[in-house]
Structure 1
Amino acid sequence: MIDFSKAYNRADFVNYLRRDFLPDDFEQEEKNVPFWSQMNYASVATCLGKSKTLNLVVYEIKHRSPHDARVGLSKDAFRMLAGEKQNRALVIFVPEDNSDNYRFSLIEIQLSIGENDSNVTRTYSNPRRYSYYLGKGIACYTPNKYLNELGRVKDVKDLFERFSVEVLTKAFYQELSDWYAWAIKVISFPNDISTRADDKLHNHEGVIRLITRLIFVWFLKERKLIPWQFFDQEYIANHLIKGFNPHKIDNLFGKSEASVYYRAILQNLFFAMLNCPITKEGSTEFTERRFKDNRSQFDDNKLMRYRDEFNNPDEFLRLANETVPFLNGGLFDCLDEKRSGMYYDGFSERKESMAQLIVPDYLFFGEEAGKNIDLSEFYGDANKKKVSARGIIDILKRYNFTVEENMPFDKDVSLDPELLGKVFENLLASYNPETQQTARKQTGSFYTPREIVQYMVDESLVAHLKRTVGNELEGEYRKLLDYADNETSLTEQQKLAIMQSLYNCKILDPACGSGAFPVGVLQQMVHILKQIDPDNSRWKNMLLQFAIDETSEAYLNSTAEERREAVADIERAFDENVNYPDYARKLHLIENCIYGVDIQPIAIQISKLRFFISLVIDQKRNDNPADNFGIRPLPNLEAKFVAANSLLGLKRTEASLFDSEEIKQKERQLKIAKHKIFSARRPATKEKWRNEVIRLRKEIADLLLEKDCIGNEQAAQLAQWDMFDQNTFAPFFDPEWMFGIKEGFDILIANPPYISTKGVSTADKKLFEAEFGFSDDTYNLFFFKGFSLLCEGGCITYITPKTFWTTQTKRNLRDLLLANTLNYVFDTANPFEAVMVDTCITSAVKNKPAAENLVRFMDGRKSLLQPERLTVAQSVYLNTQNSVIFKPSELNMRIYELYGEKVKALYDKWWDKIKTSRDIEKNKRELEEYRASLKPGDVALLGCLTEGGQGLATANNGKYIAVRSTTKWAENIRVSRPKKLADFLARTPKAITAEMRRYPSYIAFLQSLSIFRI
């Protein structure tokens, strides 16, 4: 075994590989490795040995990457493997100037084979790297568990499982899920201060919000922007909080409900540090962060509370001012509305609030903070009656966190910001009545897999670039999106056209959840910019030109001074003394291109949070508090991500809200105000422009009502919508009102909710019928809404159930898709762990399809990464009976060619005469004449040959309908049937069940029977 918390030592590490980790056939050898192509960061490579059974080589790479450039280092390693004609390796990446920290990576590529099948060319595809970050100051629980404790690697499958991020994430989520189930039983928030009846009403949301804030803070701690002392129980007890003991017994009533840690440490950190500047603008004096000192300040949520809880309040303040930056951005806004008596967070010294806020100290600290906790009701599992749970701080300390989002080709075996999305999606599902049973039993079930996200993002961007820059460059666009070594042949003019196309692209996720697609879009757009403009010079010049020439609408009617400020703002974003190059790319793409909507307000907060982390990691930290430690306060994303009902639009009498010149003038003012809010870096500035936005919205709503553009109800909706209110969502979505988007979006991309029409309330059904003319499963409605939100030629890409391929009730959706240009259909089977429905990705362009349009069809049921690829003319689906979608396999196409047009003609002629039993009876004579005219070999509809309208009636599908043994439905039966049998045994007299009880388990009894006996 090896101590992964120590600095790297080659001899020690090779001994570990030889004695403890790799198979016995590992042959140690040391030799220098030449580089066959130019390296960006790698300086020296050494071969350390090889294993034939694993078909891998072990290398050490010394590098000169100052910012631990993971993507650049990965590409260097991929090139080296291709040059060495190897497809798999273990690589130790060591900084050449300091070996305190290093990466241990499993790398694999697919090599190309020459025409004679012996000459392996030095090109590669499908690269993958999985890494552990090791060394001083790193949490080593995970590498110890998977690399040390499991002993020697048995085979290639075992090797990849040792480097699996998914296994790690599941382990973490299971611990966190147990903690969450425990916490919602004991936590309470004040809410309405005048009553205790609602103290647990919003527990699920409140606890999720606490987890979210805490995990975000943990990511900041990785950047050394939060003091470690705030999470050290011993330090807190000795230096910060009086008599702190999270596990003290409160007389006969068990553990104390004292909530000092949450109130004094976490609430002050959240609301009065991260949300409060250190200094006044232009000053170097630390005057802004301080404790509340009089009752008139009761609703100033940026002042610290609970001074009396501290041993030394000044020490607490010193730690904050020496480490914690002001972040801005809204996540750490206190949600209390103290003047109206609503205390959602309970950040108050008011006695009623302190009595009603219960977040016990014991929830945070201890390896076994909770013992014998009964979580059986939460999980619906009797085996969960005696669960032990760690304090959440101890859970977080066990794992290594990385602030960089993992990519499909490059993953750290640690917890990245995507974790926030996975945690949120699953915890949210755990209390949603539609999904709670599945979510609580199967972790990781409701989050779109990263590989799916990237595929959908890449294809959407390619479709956009083909439309706006040119079809003929499709191959070049794909090279830009790839992470293999692909040289492009783009001209300077083409690169500029691509850059401008990306900047002008408007992208919406109408069901953004925790931000998987918006973040994925940002990553790939940044990646393209890095390929075509590595030094950021073109990007900077383009943005400066927009500001100087007033060609950007955000600067219309601005003064010369405002334009100078805009230029200075751009210059600072590009200043590589304070920011890494990606910061300027991300900041302006976020402001100009990416939008999200979700009906859950907390989902919007998670989406914004992931963008915040993405920006924070590309800023260079310094030790100057007056400079906010080098961290530029985060942008305000309230005008980029909104909580609203995406499916319901605003009823209006005019196509555009802003047609009159008077309203257009106020619209321009509103755009300027929203830009000012986005870039506001001080609370006072944000408040000023927030008030301006509210004023302008009210004036515009009044004008719209006056000019009969909208009715009274709609005017009230517009005026009441407050994009700054984190506690509510708008009952409508209007992109022009909320985002200033008139002409439609270029890209819609989403994983919309799969709520069956049976799960839709009667009230919502009426609203949907008024909006769409019908009510159906929500994913169908999202398609119709999506097309209405697209610009002409825009691209929509959704992952949804594939039930619409053939279902009669989804004929309207097939007609919609086939009335436009269908790009591709990707049968993804079921990439989700628990959603019991097969899915597909569907992509279409909003325009009339060309007669010769070819649809790409991918069958990923066997392999998502290497699907079977087919093409089919869109006209085939149009000319198929009922316009059904099907896989254009050789067999299916032969059937179509033989019977497709014949069956469609029969259907068109006869369907209205046989669609119900009443129709069959009504047309009985005509049907009899038709049947009499049939000859052997004729093709006919089965419905024309029968006299009933019902299909196969079993009366019990579970008893008579079988499923394939390899499907997830079969696995579900294997799990549920023993439980049903156990319930039967519990309810049935023993005399009747004697034979069954001879078996030690119900599963063994079932296995003893043939399928017929069962």
Structure 2
Amino acid sequence: MSEPRFERRQALQTALLAFTQQPLKNAAIALFNTLGYHSDKTADFGNSAEEFLGNIERLSPDNLSFKRSHLYAEKWLSCAFLFQLTDDEIPVLATPPNLFNEAQQLMPSEIESFVFLAIKLDGETWSRTQFASITRELNRRFPMPAIVLFRHGQLLSLAVIDRRVNLRDSSRDVIHSRITVIKDVCCSAPHRAHLDILSELTFSALIGERKQRPKNFRDLYDAWIAVLSIQKLNQRFYTELSCWYFWTVKQVQFPRGGGGEVAQRNAVAVIRLLTRLIFVWFIKEKKLIPAELFDPTALKMLLKTDPAAAGDAGNYYCAILQNLFFATLNVERGALRKWATTGSGMKNDRLIHSVYRYKDLFCDAQAALDLFAQIPFLNGGLFDCLDREVTERDLERHPELKAIANQEGNGLVLRIDGFSRRAEAQAMVPNRVFFNGAADVDLNTDLGTKNKRYQVNGLFDIFARYQFTVEENMPLEEEVALDPELLGKVFENLLASYNAETQTTARKQSGSFYTPREVVDYMVDEALLLYFAQAVAVDDQAAFKQQLRELLAYTSDGNPFAPEITAGLIAAIEALRILDPACGSGAFPMGVLNKLVQVLRKLDPNNAQWRAQNRAHLEANYHSLKTIPDLVLRDEKMQHAEEELAQFDRTFSHHHADYTRKLYLINHCIHGIDLQPIAVQIAKLRFFIALIVSQQVD
């Protein structure tokens, strides 16, 4: 029987804190001991990068050298070989081979063990791709899987490679396997999600989960990989979220302007609310939105009514979320962000959604403004308030609107979001759907079960148990966290729920099936391979296509092409126009973006040719405007083109290379349409988040 999870978490917190007080090797060994892994099999390869790597190279039978650039070796402050974990440390089996052969060389192919390594890196901000690069390069030289613990600033990251025996040659194993990273664990104050993941990796937890001890190394390794499964993480999150969703649609009441039956109207509104909040939570991880807006302790001081205690009240949705969505994220910073006028009767700011409302719900209105003032203008369309005035033309085309519109003053208003101080026009979303939730709920009809009772947690309680990352996972490298692809998965899995007639088949009827990442990657590769083969003229097409596959592969490095072919490929990318005619929530367009960014990194590491190609395109557009006969129109368009060129130069001068690659690929190369407007909004948001990942937060 495993010890309670609470005790495991406490032990892990103590072990993590030790990294702030002890040398790297001592603290790392203590952490793995806390997880239940220890061994006397160790070796001293030195604690500097050159000494460590040099010793491994000399001991390797093939004498191959590490690629220092892939290891970022110049950024290593120290390193340590911790220990080798073999079958005899799992159950009692025959003594397995050690790390070395009789000649004191590394065994050429001994996958049936782990080696644990620790590396201290310079600086705190490291990407998942950098950790994957270091881990993959180290695993090229070690005959068994190397598990790597990184210390960077006050953070830790753990990288695990899923190496498998080569099916064609059992003496070799597959190095280009997926690498999974538990990233940015804070030593002094770890996130609950990180503690949960590490807790599940403890040997005692693995025994409890499997109801038996792992029998051998492979059994233990598979158990690790299962714990770190992103699919498992996503499924667990979605299960909790679906319970919340089906319970919440019965708790809320959105204005009749949303149309349809009450249940259907509320379902659509809750999906929209959920999409907005998931996006907000992602950008909160980039520290663009203050955490106090979601913290019950801080909110108790900010609002007159404690939202965590007053479950039936709706002050949190009105005062915090509506003001955040419509009057903050949808409004430029500065003087435009202000309170609506006070007093009674019809206001001059009626249906002006850029002003803050519900001032009387706050303890300190200025403190609220100060919090909102920290948040940048990040609108991608999702935060447009949908409340609007009904015109005569609207009624001519859609006379049914009169039945669902509100009479306000002398006009009709279609209330959908309910961003209003008029009680009859507001949406009612009780606080309990965000905090605390409910116990013993009957969701059997919704979830297709019988005689079950469900515990439903508040939405922010669910979010708090998971780590979110703004960087989308890739086919061969993943972070154990919820990534922006989740927006698409949540939307497309909940899509069927608001078809009142045929809920069970609505998903099939709409064509909303989420495409797995591996399938998307294959589709992207084949499409780009065909395009490049046609766009760039070469003599040997067979050899060219083989080199293109190498260029497109996530596992290959460098540029296989001569300078003239490289220039032709960059020009082809600039000229590329790719359209997804049923884009859904953006799986294929996102796959294209990620692939093209990777290709441009290889072809043009300094971004010089990509910059030149795009500037030439803008300059050609500018000169073409000189032929416009209308002088006023010509001057107007040329002034706009000059501003666009100036903005282009500022962007390339002040932003990271990947940001400029993504920005111009999104603006010029990638297009998508869909019948579902909210799907298009989600696709836009995923691209928006992709830009945020590569942007320096100012």
TM bucket normalised to smaller: 0.7 to 0.9
Q: What is residue 365 of structure 1 aligned with on the other side?
A: 435
Of the three residues 373, 381, 391, the one matched with 2:449 is 381
SS at match of 2:455: strand
Tell me, yes or no, if structure 1 residue 330 matches structure 2 residue 397.
Answer: no
Read off the aligned partner of 2:383 and give its amino acid letter. Answer: F
Of the three residues 205, 219, 222, the one matched with 2:268 is 205
Distance 1:114 1:349 in 2: 70
Deviations 1:162-210 (A, max 9, x none): 21111111111111110001011111211339x9x85544222211111
Distance 1:125 1:435 in 2: 47
Q: What is residue 288 of structure 1 aligned with on the other side?
A: 336
Tell me, yes or no, if structure 1 residue 562 matches structure 2 residue 640.
Answer: yes
Shift of 1:129: 0.8
CA change 1:206–1:409 in 2 (3 A) is same
Shift of 1:334: 0.8
Tell me, yes or no, if structure 1 residue 302 matches structure 2 residue 359.
Answer: no
Of the three residues 203, 220, 236, the one matched with 1:171 is 236
Tell me, yes or no, if structure 1 residue 71 matches structure 2 residue 121.
Answer: no
Q: What is residue 410 of structure 1 aligned with on the other side?
A: 477
Shift of 1:161: 0.8
Tell me, yes or no, if the aligned pair for 1:190 and 1:198 is still in contact at 8 Å.
Answer: no
Of the three residues 481, 487, 490, the one matched with 1:420 is 487
Of the three residues 293, 301, 310, the one matched with 1:230 is 293
Tell me, yes or no, if the aligned pair for 1:173 and 1:423 is still in contact at 8 Å.
Answer: yes
Of the three residues 523, 527, 530, the one matched with 1:460 is 527
Deviations 1:797-847 (A, max 9, x none): xxxxxxxxxxxxxxxxxxxxxxxxxxxxxxxxxxxxxxxxxxxxxxxxxxx
Distance 2:506 2:82 in 1: 45
Tell me, yes or no, if structure 1 residue 481 matches structure 2 residue 557.
Answer: no
CA change 1:138–1:548 in 2 (3 A) is farther
Q: What is residue 592 of structure 1 aligned with on the other side?
A: 668
Q: What is residue 572 of structure 2 aligned with on the other side?
A: 501
Shift of 1:459: 1.5
Aligned runs of 1:141-160 on 2, under 5 Å? 141=193, 142-148=196-202, 150-151=205-206, 154=214, 155-160=220-225
CA change 1:438–1:105 in 2 (3 A) is farther
Tell me, yes or no, if the aligned pair for 2:300 and 2:307 is still in contact at 8 Å.
Answer: yes
Q: What is residue 399 of structure 1 aligned with on the other side?
A: 466
SS at match of 1:202: helix
SS at match of 2:523: helix
SS at match of 2:150: strand
Distance 2:416 2:622 in 1: 44
Read off the aligned partner of 2:338 and give its amino acid letter. Answer: R
Tell me, yes or no, if the aligned pair for 2:35 and 2:199 is still in contact at 8 Å.
Answer: no
SS at match of 1:106: strand
CA change 1:137–1:334 in 2 (3 A) is farther
Shift of 1:320: 1.4
Q: What is residue 18 of structure 1 aligned with on the other side?
A: 33
Shift of 1:127: 3.2
Tell me, yes or no, if the aligned pair for 1:546 and 1:552 is still in contact at 8 Å.
Answer: no
Shift of 1:110: 6.6
Q: What is residue 106 of structure 1 aligned with on the other side?
A: 160
Tell me, yes or no, if the aligned pair for 2:529 and 2:545 is still in contact at 8 Å.
Answer: yes
Q: What is residue 161 of structure 1 aligned with on the other side?
A: 226
Distance 1:600 1:247 in 2: 38
Read off the aligned partner of 1:20 and give its amino acid letter. Answer: L
Q: What is residue 882 of structure 1 aligned with on the other side?
A: none
Distance 2:120 2:572 in 1: 39
CA RMSD of the aligned region, Å? 2.9
Shift of 1:572: 2.3
Distance 1:206 1:7 in 2: 47
Read off the aligned partner of 2:180 and give its amino acid letter. Answer: Y
Distance 1:561 1:598 in 2: 34
Same amino acid, percent of matched pairs: 35
Shift of 1:301: 0.7
Tell me, yes or no, if the aligned pair for 1:75 and 1:484 is still in contact at 8 Å.
Answer: no
Tell me, yes or no, if the aligned pair for 2:299 and 2:307 is still in contact at 8 Å.
Answer: no
SS at match of 1:91: strand
Q: Normalising by structure 1, what TM-score?
A: 0.54
Shift of 1:510: 1.8
Read off the aligned partner of 1:31 and give its amino acid letter. Answer: F
Read off the aligned partner of 2:448 and give its amino acid letter. Answer: G
Q: What is residue 417 of structure 2 aligned with on the other side?
A: 345
Distance 2:578 2:481 in 1: 30
Tell me, yes or no, if the aligned pair for 1:268 and 1:304 is still in contact at 8 Å.
Answer: yes
Structure ID, larger Rg: 1
- Greater RCO, CA 8 A, separation 6+: 2
Distance 2:450 2:130 in 1: 50
Shift of 1:555: 10
Tell me, yes or no, if the aligned pair for 2:165 and 2:174 is still in contact at 8 Å.
Answer: yes
Q: Which runs of 5+ in 2 are unaligned?
A: 1-10, 47-51, 55-65, 88-111, 208-212, 215-219, 391-411, 629-633
CA change 1:203–1:262 in 2 (3 A) is same
Read off the aligned partner of 1:130 and give its amino acid letter. Answer: T
Q: What is residue 732 of structure 1 aligned with on the other side?
A: none
Of the three residues 40, 45, 53, the one matched with 1:31 is 45
The number of residue pairs the alignment matches comes to 584
SS at match of 2:292: helix
Aligned runs of 1:58-137 on 2, under 5 Å? 58-64=116-122, 67-82=125-140, 84-95=141-152, 98=153, 100-109=154-163, 126-133=176-183, 134-135=185-186, 136-137=188-189
Deviations 1:326-375 (A, max 9, x none): 11321211111145411111111122113xx1110111112xx2012111
Shift of 1:484: 2.2
Shift of 1:429: 3.0
Tell me, yes or no, if the aligned pair for 1:87 and 1:110 is still in contact at 8 Å.
Answer: no
Q: What is residue 469 of structure 1 aligned with on the other side?
A: 536
CA change 1:157–1:293 in 2 (3 A) is same
SS at match of 2:641: helix
Tell me, yes or no, if the aligned pair for 1:555 and 1:563 is still in contact at 8 Å.
Answer: no
Shift of 1:553: 8.1
SS at match of 1:550: helix
SS at match of 2:250: helix
Tell me, yes or no, if structure 1 residue 51 matches structure 2 residue 85.
Answer: yes
Distance 1:26 1:143 in 2: 26
Tell me, yes or no, if structure 1 residue 278 matches structure 2 residue 326.
Answer: no
Of the three residues 4, 12, 19, the one matched with 1:2 is 12
Shift of 1:596: 1.3
Aligned runs of 1:686-765 on 2, under 5 Å? none
Distance 2:164 2:569 in 1: 29
Deviations 1:141-178 (A, max 9, x none): 33244224615783221121121111111111111110
Read off the aligned partner of 1:181 and give its amino acid letter. Answer: F
Q: What is residue 771 of structure 1 aligned with on the other side?
A: none
CA change 1:508–1:364 in 2 (3 A) is same
Tell me, yes or no, if the aligned pair for 1:109 and 1:125 is still in contact at 8 Å.
Answer: yes
CA change 1:603–1:523 in 2 (3 A) is same
CA change 1:462–1:264 in 2 (3 A) is same
CA change 1:484–1:320 in 2 (3 A) is same
Distance 1:378 1:114 in 2: 48
CA change 1:201–1:422 in 2 (3 A) is closer
Shift of 1:310: 0.8
Q: Structure 1 residues 258-267 or 592-601, which shifts more? A: 592-601
Tell me, yes or no, if the aligned pair for 1:550 and 1:556 is still in contact at 8 Å.
Answer: no
Distance 2:150 2:693 in 1: 21
Read off the aligned partner of 1:430 and give its amino acid letter. Answer: S
Tell me, yes or no, if the aligned pair for 1:479 and 1:487 is still in contact at 8 Å.
Answer: no
Distance 2:350 2:611 in 1: 45
SS at match of 1:212: helix
CA change 1:487–1:537 in 2 (3 A) is closer
Distance 1:376 1:407 in 2: 36
Tell me, yes or no, if structure 1 residue 243 matches structure 2 residue 298.
Answer: no
Shift of 1:377: 1.4
SS at match of 1:39: helix
